[in-house]
Chains A and B, each alone.
Chain A
Amino acid sequence: MTLNDWLFGRLTVQAALPFYSAIATAAASIVVVGALAVVVLLTKFRLWRPLWSEWLTSLDHKRIGIMYVVLALVMLSRAVVEAVMMRAQQAVSYDSPGYLPADHFAQLFTTHGTIMIFFMAMPFLTGIINYAMPLQIGARDVSFPLLNSVSLGLTAAGAALMMISLCIGRFSTGGWSGYPPFTELAFSPDVGPDYWIWAVTLSSIGSTLTGINFAVTIYKERAPGMHLFRMPLFCWTALCTSILMIFAMPPLTVATALLALDRYAGAHFFTNGGGGDVMNYINLFWLFGHPEVYILILPAFGVYSEVFSTFSAKALYGYRSLVYATMAIAVLSFTVWLHHFFTMGQGANVNAVFGIATMLIGIPTGVKIYDWLLTMFRGRIRFAVPLLFALGFILMFAIGGMTGIILANPGIDYQVHNTVFLVAHFHNVLIPGLLFGMLAAVQYWFPKAFGFRLNEKWGRTVFVLWTAGFLFAFMPLYALGLLGLPRRTVEYFQGAYRPWTLIAAFGALLLLLGLFAVGAWLFVSVRQRDDNRVPAGDPWNGRTLEWSMSAPPPEYNFAVRPRVTGRDQFMRDKLGGMAYLRPDEYEDIEIPLGSAVGPLLGIAGILCGFGLTWHIWWMAAGGLLLSIGTVIARSFVRETTRIVPAGEVRLQHEAWLGRLAMERPASRDQEIAPSNRGLALADGS
């Protein structure tokens, strides 16, 4: 082994630089220029120190939640652009190679899927839960604030590997599910699958830890009187999602680890020869993959539940049935993984069992839809942006659910499997389901997090563009799928596909505009923040505890821990004239000190992942040692918390109560006017 091999492993100038296609070069340049721009701006405005000490090392669940959402939005941007590139390719590649080389196209569908699932959807919902759930259950933080920061660090490390793969070397061409034997050394000898393995592994470990943290928080940190059946529904969905994470992420870790053993140690888990068995991978992957679907959708269901209730000014209809439906979905999600491979050789009876189990999930989901509709029935409905997303969700998700039931029938599945019909189906549940839910959550909780409302007009524009874009981009794929267009097709020769691919490309363009609209939405809102301030903290006449504090909330969340006597506690308090009371006494509050452990473990994760990908062993070992050393060093730190004295809490709380007294309550007609300062007229509507 030469020194060069030792220092750089498989990394050579030739293998590393993205000059295999002009588009890849351009994409890499954008990433590099973007990263440089961020560095320059941070330096120019002297923001490095605040970024490090107030954000990256913060253990405050609210800040960690916001950082997760920022990560999700950055990754969303990349993955949407990739989606548009793929649709554009299919629009022009009738009887022609189009503008993308096949290998590059394959990288695009792999990174698009991997990012959207692991680095957009997962961080997005983790961020929203992180922000809202502790506030809703009346907690001062999550149970393990440091672990929370570590999860973020590991997830961000995975995302960083994804971005590095755009600039150095190539990514996998094996799809987001990374099926062997294609991803084995024999067929993919380059570094692509290795990038995929380590990015996904980092993310899966981060998510497992997040699941443990959230579940323990919900079980152990609820405010006095907050029985499980008094929790807001969003917390129930967060709990079920966390439990799914605890049980469903390990199969993914095992699947990627065994694939790594095949690639690095010459093992024979999934190889063609030597006794390998591909079906083991496929079972392991979907043992994770199917519960994952519900990890993604349940928090969105929770958001919709809050939104329907708040913007209909009614208690949630059928609360208990919604809870049981959520739990039923969570349990059933472990019994259906086989429907991802009906065509891979099981007997008809096995397929039938899993097909029926799959259809069963439609029942609790249907219960939820009816509950939400009945929540609106005779409510005083305001068509605010979150409710628009929720309504769009109900209409379009119902269609996606129906096509899911169609696909659950093994006979039909044999006809349409591996076609874009499937692509249409899962985008139909994930865009109006998960993504709309997360965007609704942003509009809904943003004023709580930052102290001002988001612009309504731009919010509606985002909604219209994403809805229209989704319909134009994915409805044609149902038709195309029935016509037999296989998914991941780079070039085709049937003229009948052409009109549909053109419509889909138009839809993708609308989605791109939708992405820009999200940027404009945030930008315009920040510019107009002084017109939309809600310091009193309750802009939507909210029902749950997170609305009972200032916006943004103090670091310790609750000046005094609330006592809970029933559901929708804050609405009870407001109607009973018990809200915003001056407590008799305050007490010292212990909050965690910031810590560099999370970012350090993130850096260690990047070193490990990058080193392993390129066979730079010293770097991988260094990353491992850094992570072990960091954890051990942390265990010797004596001071990990600080005390906010009762006097200071009193001062801050009374200052806020004083401001409240000066605000005029706003009625619901004034909800989106500047006169809504976050103090709601307590008339129960």
Chain B
Amino acid sequence: MSRHPGLNLAHADEKAHAEAEPLLFGFWVFLMSDLVLFALLFATYATMMGVTAGGPGPKQLFELGPAAIETAALLCSSLAYGMATLVMKYERGRVWLLFWLGAALLLGLVFLCFEIDDFVGMFAKGGGIGRSGQLSAFFALVGTHGLHVTFGCLWIVVMMIQVLVFGAERRDNKTERERLLADRVQTRILRLGLFWHFLDIVWIGIFSVVYLQGLTA
């Protein structure tokens, strides 16, 4: 039935699948373009590793504890998001969908709080963005990821409101027009999911390349 492997619109009809196809495919293409952006920021960081210009280096600035908590928060957030999509697929009701979306949001915010605290701590130790090439590259890479997470959180909030306004299940709605709106919410939640998991993958790269490598090298 589904011509697109990334698509799990539960009981949607052929038309809904056909309409979702370019949307999801287009979003994958966008993520590819976004990945190029991160790849270049990683490359910039790699060329600037060790360029401390006499300032503090990773050993003085990075702390494994908060970074590990951030990693756990973000990965658990992805898990919660995965639960949300399963709830949506098997139509277990709006409450559970909102619960899991809320959990994902909360964990995303935990991640952001720890990250901001990290940044503030680094500034306090004299490791601001203007201190050295390496720190500039660090803040560009980690900051861009953080900015993505921020927008992702905002997006989750918007989607929670949309679930309340439009519903995310076809059986919530009577007319075909309303069903279409529910389909639209579903594909948006799926695309947000792609985005959210994508940010996990990028974070794993950051955790390994920036934090683990910086603290062991």
Q: Do A and B bind each other?
A: yes
The tally of CB-CB contacts under 8 A between chains A and B is 108
Number of interface residues of A (CB under 8 A): 41
- Asked if A635 and B158 sit within 8 Å, CB to CB, the answer is yes
B25 with A267: CB separation less than 8 A: no
Chain B 110-146 interface 0/1 with A at a Cβ cutoff of 8 Å (1 = within) = 0000000000000000000111111011011000000
Residues of A within 8 A of B25 (CB): 216, 219-220
Give 9 pairs: A residue, B residue, CB < 8 Å, sorted on A: A144-B22, A253-B37, A266-B129, A267-B136, A273-B53, A275-B136, A277-B133, A280-B44, A628-B154
Type the 1/0 row for A230-259, where 1 means its CB is closer than 8 Å to any CB of B: 000000000000000011011101100110
Asked if A254 and B158 sit within 8 Å, CB to CB, the answer is no
CB of A452 within 8 Å of the partner chain: no
Q: A275-B53, A275-B134 are in contact. List 10 more A-B contacts (CB 8 A).
A: A144-B22, A215-B29, A216-B29, A247-B32, A247-B33, A267-B129, A267-B140, A268-B131, A275-B136, A280-B47
B53 engages A216 (CB within 8 Å): no
Q: Which residues of A contact B177 (CB under 8 A)?
A: 638
CA distance A552 to B134 in the complex (A): 57
Q: Mark B151-165, 1 if CB is under 8 A from A, else 0.
A: 000100010001001
User: Given A253, A268, A284, which contacts B133 in the complex, CB threshold below 8 Å?
Assistant: A268
| In the complex, A261 has a CB within 8 A of chain B | yes
- Tell me if A221 is interfacial: C-beta within 8 Å of chain B: yes
Whether B21 and A220, one on each chain, are in contact in the complex, defined by CB atoms closer than 8 angstroms, is yes
Chain B CB within 8 A of A208 CB = yes
Q: Which residues of A contact B129 (CB under 8 A)?
A: 261, 265-267
Question: How many Å lie between the Cα of A275 and that of B53 in the bound state?
Answer: 6
Shortest Cβ distance from B91 into chain A, in angstroms? Answer: 22
- Measuring CB to CB, which residues of chain B are less than 8 angstroms from any residue of chain A? 21-22, 25-26, 29-30, 32-34, 36-37, 40-41, 44, 47-48, 51-53, 129-134, 136-137, 139-140, 154, 158, 162, 165, 177, 181, 188
The reply to whether B133 and A254 contact each other, CB–CB distance below 8 Å, is: no
Chain A interface mostly helix, strand, loop or mixed? Answer: helix
**Any chain B CB within 8 A of the CB of A276?**
yes
- Given A212-B30, A280-B44, the answer on whether A261 and B140 have CB atoms closer than 8 Å is yes
With contacts A275-B53, A635-B158, A635-B162 known, is A221 near B22, CB below 8 A? yes
Q: Complex Cα distance A273/B131, Å?
A: 10
Contacting pair B44 A266 (CB below 8 A) = no
- CA separation between A269 and B154, bound complex, in Å? 30
Does A495 reach chain B (CB closer than 8 Å)? no
Asked if B51 and A216 sit within 8 Å, CB to CB, the answer is no
Decide: A144 and B181 in contact? CB cutoff 8 A: no
Report A190 CB to chain B, min CB distance, Å: 21
Q: Could you say which of A220, A265, A268, A276 has the most chain B C-beta atoms within 10 Å of its C-beta?
A: A268
CB-defined contacts of B165 to chain A, threshold 8 Å: 636
In the complex, the answer to whether A144 meets B130 with C-beta atoms within 8 Å is no
Whether B130 and A268, one on each chain, are in contact in the complex, defined by CB atoms closer than 8 angstroms, is: yes
The answer to whether B162 touches A269 (Cβ under 8 A) is no
B40 touches A268 (CB 8 A): no
